[in-house]
């Protein structure tokens, strides 16, 4: 199970990777347009993301819409980012064509904004390492986003493809939990969503009880008590 951070904000990336063992960072044109500092060039932004991620996987998306333009974008992204990078291509006809050619060059490819199992299977046929359905966007079409992601994952496994479903665009923690329970191999979430996934009111209540019971008996934290005992 792989967890990625959905962000292009350098501070968010640095702070999050310092406290959680995530597998990398995902970006797209919307995220970069929102998060990239005004004083920074795109090349500098991508280089900084690579520096912050170390050898983790970085996802970056093309903006051209024709296959040749996508391939040119991809080559420039690979050059700019360096290291382990997966090129995100939209699930449109030219995107599948570009994916096939880039995968043939040994470049990791992610087919993104996939809405159907057919798109996921075609992505796999083109050699994509990942296919990314947008969970909340699918829900907005009065469909069941988590169920679609799970179905994609099941069909890819059934037909023997190595392509991993990378579920994205979550609105609620329950959506994340449903795709994980359904066997989806990877998710990408915002830092805020990670906070929701780590926290639970029940856990907070238990911690408060632990502390209350401890302080009824002892007036020092464990570290101080053990330090005192060790010196005796």
pLDDT digits (tens, 9 = 90+) for 153-194: 999 999 999 999 999 999 999 999 999 999 999 999 999 999
Q: Are residues 232 and 171 in the same domain?
A: no
CA atoms within 13 A on the CB side of 101: 16
Provide mean pLDDT across the span 27-32: 97
The reported pLDDT for the residue numbered 230 is 61
At 151, list the tokens: 């179905």
Q: Model confidence over 83-137: pLDDT tens digits?
A: 999 999 999 999 999 999 999 999 999 999 999 999 999 999 999 999 999 999 9
- The DSSP result for 12-49, as a single string, is HHHHHHHHS---EEE--HHHHHHHS-TTS-HHHHHHHH
Positions marked active-site: 88
Q: Are residues 183 and 206 in the same domain?
A: no
- Structural domain total, the chain: 2
**Confidence band for 227, pLDDT divided at 50, 70 and 90:** confident
Question: What is the CATH classification number for the domain harbouring 126?
Answer: 3.20.20.70
State mean pLDDT over 63-74: 98
108 forms beta bridges with: 86
- 108-114/130-133 β-pairing: parallel
CA distance 128 to 109: 5
Calculate mean pLDDT across residues 70-80. 98
Does residue 209 carry a pLDDT above 60? yes
Q: Average per-residue pLDDT in the chain?
A: 96
pLDDT at 232 > cutoff 90 = no
Q: How many Cβ atoms are within 10 Å of 63's Cβ, its own excluded?
A: 11
Range of the domain at 216: 200-232
Residues 8 and 116 in one domain: yes
Same domain for 228 and 163, yes or no, is no
Token pair belonging to 137: 């966007």
Q: Are strands 164-167 and 130-133 parallel, antiparallel or unpaired?
A: parallel
Cα distances (angstroms) measured from residue 70 to each of 37, 41, 77, 157? 25, 20, 10, 28
Q: What are phi and psi of 137, to 5 degrees?
A: -65, -35
Q: Is the dihedral of CA 16, 20, 21, 27 positive or negative?
A: negative
What is the model's pTM? 0.93
């Amino acid at each position: 199970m792989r967890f990625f951070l959905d962000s292009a904000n350098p501070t968010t990336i640095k702070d999050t990777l310092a406290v959680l063992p995530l597998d990398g960072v995902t970006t797209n044109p919307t995220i970069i347009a929102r998060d990239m500092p005004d004083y920074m060039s795109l090349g500098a932004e991508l280089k900084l993301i690579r520096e912050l991620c170390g050898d983790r996987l970085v996802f970056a998306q093309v903006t051209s819409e024709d296959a040749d333009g996508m391939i040119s974008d991809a080559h420039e992204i690979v050059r700019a980012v360096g290291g382990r990078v997966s090129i995100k291509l939209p699930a449109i006809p030219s995107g599948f064509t570009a994916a096939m050619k880039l995968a043939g060059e040994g470049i990791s490819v992610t087919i993104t904004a996939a809405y159907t199992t057919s798109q996921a299977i075609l992505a796999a046929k083109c050699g994509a390492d990942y296919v990314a359905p947008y969970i909340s966007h699918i829900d907005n079409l009065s469909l069941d986003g988590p169920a679609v992601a799970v179905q994609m994952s099941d069909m890819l496994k059934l037909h023997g493809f190595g392509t991993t479903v990378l579920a994205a665009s979550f609105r609620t923690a329950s959506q994340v939990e449903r795709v994980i329970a359904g066997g989806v191999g990877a998710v990408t979430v915002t830092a805020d969503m990670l906070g929701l996934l780590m926290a639970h009111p029940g856990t907070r209540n238990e911690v408060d009880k632990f502390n209350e019971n401890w302080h009824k008996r002892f007036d020092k934290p464990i570290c101080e008590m053990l330090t005192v005992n060790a010196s005796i």
